[in-house]
Amino acid sequence: MLNKLIISLTFSFLLSQDYPVLGSSQSLDFMTWNVENYPKHNQTNSYIIDIINQINIDIIAFQEIENQNSFNNLINQLNGNWIGYRADQNSNWGELSYAINLDEIEVIEAYNILNQDQYFFAYRPPYVLEFIYQGIDYVMINNHFKCCGDGELDLNDSSDEEYRRLISNQLLEEYVNDTYPNKRVIILGDLNDSLTDEEEDNVFWNFLNSDLFLFADYSIANGTSSNWSFPGWPSHIDHILISNELFIDFENSDILTFKVDDYLLGGINTYDNYISDHRPVFMRFDFGNNIQGDINSDGTLDILDVIAIVNLVLGDQYNEFADMNYDGMLNVMDVVIVVNSILN
């Protein structure tokens, strides 16, 4: 009995680590995290709960959530007011899922898209979360693309892994442009391929060559391998892509591969044995006093901002922070968006 108690206390000590505070009350904080075959160990939840409770985050887009009961237990044991969404609650397969901190986020709805094309997505159709943060609407699209392949794109083979990822990207681009033309869209997940391949083999070329999208983590992909998201076979395959409506916010953002293994006793071996083979990729849009629609930069969204933007419109003056729909001009539509943000 005493030996069991000592072992239990020792393991609890090993689990209890200090992790960095990544987010803040002034920023939209989120990350994509493939938690391999979740839960891969009976102590997996203990680790993940400890991590989430310390890093100060608003939304986590998970991949490979296999067990609904374990996921429910995870959500229920987090500090604060959290809710979990899983694409298929009755499935034992690795499902796309979200953990959301309702203290900061208002959920509109969660749903799958492109179900008719799920072959290309390895039968894991993209999982959308529509939400509101500080009065602004956002769309997040969680993905887990087809894995593996030989690194060469074969346009004549529909079963080619790279080809399936290529089509997945093209389908997503078309869907986002058609369905969310003026929304702030975040596409993220385990996309299972590199951003830096040559054009002829690059499955992301449609996005990389577009003026409407930007890979927020491109600098990571193009940087040192020690900061990549998949350390076991060094590669950076977990990505965050943003639409042009977020380009200005991107100027006040931070993105990093959260190297959880750096904070664990046993390092990468402990991380791989108990948590996952993927590291999470974290991003924050740091608004501070630059709240969207806060035209006079006083840290609040109120009638004074309406007056400020009306004066800009009447004076035919352009201000990028007042261009609420990012159409390159200031007009009554921008005024309406500011008013709606205040009312919401």
Residue-level pLDDT at 5: 43
So what's the pLDDT on residue 128?
99
> Looking at residue 342, what is its pLDDT?
87
Question: Could you report the per-residue pLDDT of 96-144, keeping only the tens digit for each?
Answer: 999 999 999 999 999 999 999 999 999 999 999 999 999 999 999 999 9
Question: What is the residue-averaged pLDDT of the chain?
Answer: 91
pLDDT score of 288: 65
Reported as a single tens digit per residue, the pLDDT across 6-40 is: 444 444 445 568 899 999 888 999 999 999 999 99
SS (H, E, C) the chain: CHHHHHHHHHHHHHHCCCCCCCCCCCEEEEEEEEEEEECCCCCHHHHHHHHHHHHCCCEEEEEEECCHHHHHHHHHCCCCCEEEEECCCCCCCCEEEEEEECCCCEEEEEEECCHHHCCCCCCCCCEEEEEEECCEEEEEEEEECCCCCCCCCCCCCCCCHHHHHHHHHHHHHHHHHHHCCCCEEEEEEECCCCCCCCHHHCCCHHHHCCCCEEECCHHHHCCCHHHCCECCCCECCEEEEEEHHHHHHHCCEEEEECCHHHHCCCHHHHHHHHCCCCCCEEEEEECCCCCCCCCCCCCCCCHHHHHHHHHHHHCCCCCCCCCCCCCCCCCHHHHHHHHHHHHC
- Position with higher pLDDT, 60 vs 327: 60
* Residue 222: pLDDT band with limits 50, 70, 90: very high
The topology under which CATH files domain 2-286 is Deoxyribonuclease I; Chain A (3.60.10)
Average pLDDT value for residue range 172-201: 98
Q: Are 19 and 259 in contact (CB under 8 A)?
A: no
Q: What pLDDT is recorded for position 132?
A: 97
The model's pLDDT over 41-66, given as tens digits with 9 standing for 90+, comes to 999 999 999 999 999 999 999 999 99
Parts of the chain belonging to CATH 3.60.10.10: 2-286
Q: Can you give the pLDDT at residue 15?
A: 56
pLDDT of residue 323: 77
pLDDT of 240-277, one tens digit each? 999 999 999 999 899 999 999 999 999 999 999 999 99
